[in-house]
Amino acid sequence: MHDVATPPLRIAVAGSSGRMGRMLIEAIAATSDCRLAAAFDHAESPTIGQDAGSPLGFATGVTVTSDLDAGLQDAQCLIDFTRPEGTLNHLDMCLRHGVAMVIGTTGFDAPGLQRIRAASEQIPIVMAPNMSIGVNVVLKLLEQAGRALADGYDIEIIEAHHRHKVDAPSGTALKMGEVVAQAAGRNLERDAVWARHGHTGERQTGSIGFSVIRGGDIVGDHTVLFAGSGERIEITHKSSSRATYASGSLRAARFLAGKRSGLYDMQAVLGLTS
């Protein structure tokens, strides 16, 4: 009796000409268990009508299109690292076709997040502000540190990204703040300090400070500092390549295969959820 080979997972990529889109297409091409099913870009993109692998120097056999309705018919999962308004449009189309989603887009407002939660009752979705496996291990460490260092330690979150990033603080920095605040018994909405300028007075006990750096081609650096009396603890993650986000995204897509619905994060994908 011969084993029947499992067919490759058919993945569509939104924003295929962007930095993450190109990285995802390259990562999919390097796997044996995934294949590119569709590549999408906005209608004005010069890549429309070209092979999705052209900017990378190889052929995929998939033509870049702006027609999600047609392109999603052969896809099992859409990976989306675009903008909130684009992702929400893509969400509606995935609902129509019953296609799973991996969402790495950040910057959603409350109504946008609610639309994603509602959609997850019909299709399976992994949504995370950072798809890096390392970052998600760091989030688990921060949960432990936040619980142990809740008293007597000031918490500061410092993040750095490239000059083209449009939202601040990063979605990853916000997630780190949420994890630490919850573990330490604090309320991020109440205790966050987003900016300091001029005569600020002494640091308020229990506050969580955020500092943002934008410049050059920094892929993404995040540090959470726990500053106590006589010591400080720093938990840092530095990305040198978006390839880590791409490999994490493919792991998320594999995780969703066979699931009917549900909203998951990368902690669930990696088996770190208690």
- Residues acting as catalytic residues: 161, 165
Query: In this structure, what is the dihedral angle of CA atoms 119, 269, 218, 231, given to the nearest 10 degrees?
Result: 120
Distance from C-alpha of 72 to C-alpha of 38, rounded to nearest angstrom: 7
The token pair at 157 is 């979150």
Q: If you ran DSSP here, which 8-state letter would residue 21 be given? A: H
For residue 175, which of 261, 256, 110, 107 has the smallest C-alpha distance? 107
| Cβ pair 222, 236 in contact under 8 A | yes
Q: Which long-range contacts (CB under 8 A, 24 or more apart) does 42-49 make?
A: 42/66, 42/86, 45/17, 46/17, 47/16, 47/17
